[in-house]
Structure 1
Amino acid sequence: MMKNKRFGGIAFGALVAAGLFAGNALAADEVTDAQIKAARAAMDAIRVTTPFDGILPTIASQLKSTLIQGSPNYEALIVETVDQKAIELAPRRADLEREAAIIYAKAFTADELNAIAAFYSSPAGQKLLKDGPLAIRELSKAGDVWAAGITRDLTKAADEELEKKIAAQKK
């Protein structure tokens, strides 16, 4: 029963993904080759699809763990089979890259994409990619401290003023 549910979920996910890719593939006619080329250069510069690098290995690892728990006597066979099937699926990463290029090509002009690629390929752009997340985390912390101070001060000021006004109304 569990195998059927898992297969059904996988089949449903595959159908949804196929529908999305087919729909976007039709919309791909709206972008030019120059936009796609510029989009790929910008994507490479900002490493936009890097976060997806670990998806297939993670899914394969999780699947191996699940299957081995259910059939520990077949561990070697499970590992070999899942690894082989994962390697067979690896070329599908190109589908994601193609989709990302279409998305970027629709969102930006070729000139904008070229400017993005130029900036993020520069030393300043590389530094922003490297140190930007740290700066954003630090800014978020500073924003939290600032918001706490504003909350404290507004609450105190409003309470004091309300006490005065309410006391004046009671007289």
Structure 2
Amino acid sequence: MRDRELVQQAKYGDKEALSQIVRRYYNEIYLFIYRRLGDSYSAEDITQEVFLKFTQCLPQYKEKDKLKSYLLSIAINCSNDYYRKAKREVLSEEIEITEEAENSFDSDMRECIKSALLQLPDEQRNVIILRYYHDLKIREISRITSCSQSTVKSRLYRGENQLKEILKGVL
């Protein structure tokens, strides 16, 4: 069933449709948050909070928005709330990388990339994760982050350069 149909049914109280939405997007939202925070326990809690907020905001959801983009924007807001509540610290759990990338990187390389990502400012880290881990287009990232496309491109460019600089000594 398509997202639009599931959302429509969920709006009318169909709990199974809501469960299907959660099953369809849970891992992707979890991985996005995990890559931002580097902490699996916090990522799990925040992911649950994202779907709770989605359920609460369901009546206001506009079907012209892509569901995935809408959920990722909630994830960014929930992650930002987490940062405000907790002092920011670098956490030691490994960042998850897509299966293809995992085959080509050893654990030391994954740890270096995770460490480098966590050193970036939030705005740059967000656009890099959305672009390269979630394979979103600049236009979609712009909608999710509520920034202009030129701002997204600028943050992406600066973040990539900063990552290259951080990883220069390692590679």
TM-score range, shorter chain: under 0.3
- Answer with 1 or 2: which has the greater Rg: 1
Please report the TM-score for the alignment, with normalisation by the length of structure 1.
Answer: 0.26
Which structure has the higher relative contact order (CA within 8 Å, separation 6+)? 1
Please report the TM-score for the alignment, with normalisation by the length of structure 2.
Answer: 0.26
Structure with the larger helix share: 1
